[in-house]
Amino acid sequence: MNRSSFMKWVTGGLEAFWALPVIGGSIIFSMSWSPLVVMLILHIITLIISINEGRNKHGSILGIVTSAVGFIPFLGWMMHTLTAILLLVDAYRSEKAIEVS
């Protein structure tokens, strides 16, 4: 497993957790939106690693946008869900591509 795939699994899993309707939103709200700042940093790190390894960067870019608008209740939930799906599918595809080559 390369570093970009690992980071996409991590950030995708976290995004999926934040997408849980009541749990994710209440934790983000109770921590004064600081998880969104942490996720922004993680998405930037994942983006840099993906660029350096020549891998897809779409999920990380969407994650950065999600971190910026994640505080908006319904939009945040929708964005966390889409970002999680995109990152997890991309991580899975990257691992399958490595196994084939």
DSSP-assigned states of every residue in 61-77: HHHHHHHHHTTSHHHHH
Which tens digits make up the pLDDT trace of 16-75?
999 998 899 899 999 999 999 999 999 999 999 999 999 999 999 999 999 999 888 899
Q: What's the confidence (pLDDT) of residue 57?
A: 93
Q: From CA 73, how far away is CA 70, in angstroms rounded?
A: 7
Helix (H) or strand (E) holding 84: helix 73-100
Q: For the chain, report the end-to-end CA distance as a whole number of angstroms.
A: 13
